[in-house]
Amino acid sequence: MNFHRFFAVVKARNIEFFRDRSSLGWNLFFPVLLLIGFSFIFSGEGRPSYKVGLITTGSVEQSAEQKVLMQLRFIEFIDYQKLELATDKLSRHSIDLLIDYENNRYWVNEESSSSYLMEKIFLGEQQGFARLESSGKSIRYVDWVLPGILGMNMMFSCLFGVGYVIVRYRKNSVLKRLKATPLSALEFVSAQLVSRLFIVMFMSTVVYSGCNLFFEFFMLGSYFDLFVIGALGAFCLISLGLLVASRSKSEELIGGLLNLTSWPMMMLSGVWFSLEGAPDGLKVLADFMPLTHLVAGARAIITEGATLSDISFHVNILLVMSAVFLILGSYLFSWNTER
């Protein structure tokens, strides 16, 4: 590993990116426009539907009244096994009512209009429940969707920024010429990874800091923890981009492969909506996507004040995925052959 050649490639790739004004402008302004649009579209109090949390232990059978309540339309019921997690969700306005049928009690959020209305609906169907209260600052949709938008922007930057560049180098015989130099495949791939990681984290930090001046984003956790999970997620996505582009030299093919990789993640990784209450099969599928763990970890830090130890599951999954993608990408990487 010759670090002089390594850093020379890193410097060249950074200069190439920052001189491309269209790419630079897209990475800066696209997430900003999305945040502004969603802040206006989803502004205002209340939502058209309600979410109700249920404390479930599996030891209490559903009563007739409970079955009637759960058949009501426009209400989503979410099971929780941990009371502390459920009450925290209620205090953060993630759910509108929390019910414990085993102990005949329920919680409302006094600061939520949706919780007030859901309580009236609940009392119209149930009797004999003790009333408990919870409160907390409301999280705007723009605060909730922020990790998803930034994560999605990082995903496209990592996958397309690495995939298209390598394929273009291979198609234009740049890789073939580099193969004739002392530069090894490990040095080249590592340089591409470090360069893109620096670019993605720099651009994401600029976007977040700039938007925060106007939106004053909700933040309960540590900015350091947020940066770490962001860097791990970006590293994993870049590794995936290197794997996808490891052998192809067709821009049409790599475009299709990258779209096939990115679109399922954008739709199923919790970018735009919560996966709580989703079918178990969908959750399992989402767990195999790096963006799911990036968004879930960042969202937990921002909205719940979680630490890196609290989201260790997401951290470990990203590390394992990164290792697998890098090993496969290094093994399959070719300087000048087509898939």
Lowest mean pLDDT among 13-22, 27-36, 42-51, 330-339: 42-51
- pLDDT of the residue at 217: 86
- Higher-pLDDT residue of 229, 96: 229
Distance between CA atoms of residues 262 and 272, nearest Å: 14
**How many CB atoms are located within 10 Å of the residue 300 CB?**
20
pTM: 0.70
Helices within 245-289 (DSSP H only): 251-268, 280-287
State how far the Cα of 281 lies from the Cα of 169, in Å rounded to an integer: 39
pLDDT of 338 above 50: no
What's the rounded mean pLDDT across residues 327-339?
Answer: 72
The domain limits of the chain are 3-41+140-332, 50-134
The answer to whether the CB of 122 falls within 8 A of the CB of 54 is no
CA 163/CA 160 separation, integer angstroms: 5
Q: What percent of the chain has pLDDT over 70?
A: 88
Give pLDDT, residue 163. 84
- The pLDDT value recorded for residue 135 is 65
Q: Which of 54-68, 224-238, 261-275, 278-292 has the lowest mean pLDDT?
A: 54-68
Q: What is the CA radius of gyration of the chain?
A: 24
Instruction: Using the predicted structure, report yes or no on whether residue 337 has a pLDDT greater than 70.
Output: no
Spatial CA neighbour of 331 closest among 238, 242, 233: 242
Most confident stretch, 73-82, 200-209, 251-260: 200-209
Q: What is the pLDDT of residues 90-117, one digit of tens each?
A: 887 778 899 998 888 999 988 777 888 8
pLDDT of 295 > 50? The answer is yes
Burial tier of 164 (Cβ tally within 10 Å: 0-12, 13-18, 19+) = middle
